[in-house]
């Protein structure tokens, strides 16, 4: 009986020792770990111009209305296609009824169709916009960072963020009196690349109705973009 009890006690001790090994491993993994954050930023030019134009008409005959809107849009598309380096995108097109004052009887129909133009050639797009405004109306003007520009900016900022993180890691290691460090984990995140934002309809002033088309004056500006490096290091002590 005593022998059995001693065996059971030894077995319990052995199991307890084995069970404590993972806990020790976890403690050792987090030994002298420090969380760090580094951030770098730069100003990036909004080099993509986006113009939204539209036509809106009404008629008692919905078929005639649709045909008139299509004619106007097709003319604008044909004119825009003659200009190089401009991307054309047809926006939304909606038709809805017009009711009488009592809101009970349909007295006509109204239809609106949009045309979206994109280009990095601001001068060409501005000139075209002025010409198209003879038949269309200005819906808005947007500016964004073109995809190639964004990718180049992200690549440059990524390198700078990693360098900044390593600099802080070395600074923290020296402050603790360590001899070196190793990176446990590192996360890189970019932000500040805005989606195109809509500017209000532009008021185009002309001396007379038959005057030359007005070319909109544009100023795209810049956006501040940044890259953050969040992670943890393990300081190796001397």
**Together in a domain, 41 and 150:** yes
d(C-alpha 35, C-alpha 83), whole Å: 54
Contact 160, 40 (CB under 8 A): yes
Q: Identify whether 12 is part of a domain.
A: no
Q: In the numeric block, which tokens belong to residue 112?
A: 């609106």
Domain count, the chain: 2
One domain, residues 88 and 58:
yes
State yes or no: pLDDT of 13 exceeds 60. no
Q: At residue 14, does pLDDT exceed 80?
A: no
The boundaries of the domain holding residue 235 are 32-47+145-206+222-238
Mean pLDDT in residue range 160-166: 96
144, 163, 180: which is the final residue of a domain? 144
Q: pTM higher than 0.75, yes or no?
A: no
| 57 sits in which H/E element | strand 48-59
| pLDDT value at residue 224 | 87
Indicate which CATH number applies to the domain containing 229: 3.30.110.170
Last residue of a domain, one of 144, 174, 198: 144
pLDDT tens digits for range 214-234: 565 666 788 889 999 999 999
Q: Are residues 58 and 175 in the same domain?
A: no
Question: Which CATH number fits the domain that encloses residue 105?
Answer: 3.30.70.2970
In this prediction, residue 30 has a pLDDT band, given cuts at 50, 70 and 90, of low
Confidence of residue 80 (pLDDT cuts 50, 70, 90): very high
């Amino acid at each position: 009986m005593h022998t059995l009890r001693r065996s059971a006690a030894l077995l319990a001790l052995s199991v307890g020792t084995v069970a404590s090994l993972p806990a020790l491993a976890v403690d050792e993994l987090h030994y002298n770990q420090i969380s760090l954050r580094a951030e770098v930023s730069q100003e990036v030019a909004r080099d993509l111009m986006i113009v939204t134009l539209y036509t809106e008409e009404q008629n008692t005959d919905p078929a005639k209305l649709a045909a008139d809107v299509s004619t106007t849009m097709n003319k604008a598309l044909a004119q825009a296609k003659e200009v190089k380096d401009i991307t054309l995108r047809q926006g939304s097109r909606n038709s809805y009824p017009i009711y009488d004052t009592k809101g009970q009887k349909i007295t006509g129909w109204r239809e609106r169709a949009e045309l979206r133009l994109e280009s990095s050639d601001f001068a060409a797009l501005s000139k075209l916009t002025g010409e198209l405004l003879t038949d269309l109306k200005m819906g808005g003007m947007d500016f964004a960072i073109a995809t190639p520009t964004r990718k180049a900016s992200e690549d440059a900022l990524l390198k700078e963020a990693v360098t900044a993180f390593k600099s802080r890691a070395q600074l923290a290691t020296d402050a603790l009196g360590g001899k070196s460090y190793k990176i446990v984990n590192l996360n890189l995140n970019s932000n500040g690349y805005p989606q195109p934002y809509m500017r209000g309809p532009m008021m185009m002033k002309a001396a007379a109705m038959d005057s030359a088309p007005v070319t909109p004056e544009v100023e795209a500006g810049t956006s501040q973009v940044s890259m953050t490096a969040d992670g943890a290091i393990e300081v190796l002590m001397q």
